[in-house]
Structures are given as C-alpha cells and as structure tokens.
C-alpha cells in the first residue's frame, strides 16, 4: 500500500490569504509575516501572532480545548479553527461535547477529513493509495453521553 505523506505538507504551508496580511494594531501599517507564526510591523516594529500562532499558543498553555473555547479565548474564527482541525494541525480533545464530522459518513472525528472506516473504503477505491493526513481519529468517549451505539447497526 502506497502511503503519500508529502502531498499534504504543502497544504500546511498554504495559509489562507487573510493570514498573509495583517494590519498593525498600533499604527495601522501592513504587517509582514516573519517566522514562527509571527507578523512584524515594518513601521513600528510591533510583532503579533498569526491566528494559528494564537491558537497554538493557547493550546500549549491550556492543553487541548474544544473549538468553541479556542474561539472565545483567542477570538480566532470558528471557521478558521475548523480549517485547522481539517488539516490536522490541531485536534479536538477526547471527551469533548462537540466534534467535527467525517465528510463522508458524518461520524464524529477529532481532526482530519474522514473517519478511519471511510478512509479505508476510499483507499480501496483508489487502488490502495492513502492520504494519511486526511484520516482523523474517532473520539473514544463523548461528554455527557453514556450511549454507545454500534457502527454495525448503521451500516445495515
């Protein structure tokens, strides 16, 4: 089975446009991306973290947190946080109330685009080529839910 690992690496550096340009909160000049998820103002020298930098820093300080909490604490949009989840750059902690959904079957996953089951099916249909970075992980537990339903029942 061929495993393609390099492909997604490019996508990870392919930041959304709105993250490329940032306005300096001090003087309003256009800040430039320097390194380490930071922007620097060419006029006053002020540095600011990129949205991903903010999320990353928040998670490093607080441990894994649900998207809604990240959104509240960092002011980074849910849309962008979801994108980070889809890209596997961050993940929803196990035991959360809300997860992202597999784009094929809608089951809960913690990051990525597809659940392992769907990825396996996709892999079979495309001659065994797997895009590992698209595979997410299913949560083993869900907050406030004691119901364990079997995948088998849904397949029919």
If the CB atoms of residues 26 and 143 are measured against Zn ion, the closer one turns out to be 26
State the minimum distance, in angstroms, from the CB of residue 72 to Zn ion. Answer: 27
116 vs 118: CA distance, rounded Å: 6
Decide if 12 contacts 89 (C-beta within 8 A): yes
Would you count residue 55 as binding Zn ion (CB under 5 A)? no
Would you count residue 105 as binding Zn ion (CB under 5 A)? yes
Q: 21, 44, 126, 143: which one contacts Zn ion (CB under 5 A)?
A: 44
Would you count residue 54 as binding Zn ion (CB under 5 A)? no
Decide if 47 contacts 35 (C-beta within 8 A): no
DSSP state of 88: T
DSSP state of 102: -
Would you count residue 24 as binding Zn ion (CB under 5 A)? yes
CA nearest to 51, candidates 93, 91, 22, 85: 22
Q: Which residues bind to Zn ion, rule: CB under 5 A?
A: 24, 26-27, 29, 41, 43-44, 46, 102, 104-105, 107, 115, 118
């Amino acid at each position: 089975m061929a495993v393609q690992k390099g492909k997604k690496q490019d996508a990870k550096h392919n930041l959304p446009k709105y993250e490329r340009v940032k306005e300096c909160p001090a003087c309003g000049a256009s800040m430039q991306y320097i390194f380490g998820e930071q922007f620097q103002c060419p006029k006053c020298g002020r540095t600011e973290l990129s949205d991903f930098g903010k999320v990353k820093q928040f998670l490093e300080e607080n441990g894994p947190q649900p998207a809604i909490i990240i959104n509240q604490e960092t002011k980074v949009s849910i849309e962008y946080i979801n994108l980070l989840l889809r890209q596997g750059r961050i993940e929803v902690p196990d035991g959360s109330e809300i997860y992202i959904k597999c784009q094929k079957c809608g089951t809960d996953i913690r990051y990525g685009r597809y659940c392992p089951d769907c990825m396996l099916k996709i892999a079979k249909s495309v001659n065994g080529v797997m895009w590992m970075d698209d595979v997410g992980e299913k949560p083993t537990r869900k907050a406030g839910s004691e119901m364990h339903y079997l995948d088998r029942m849904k397949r029919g």
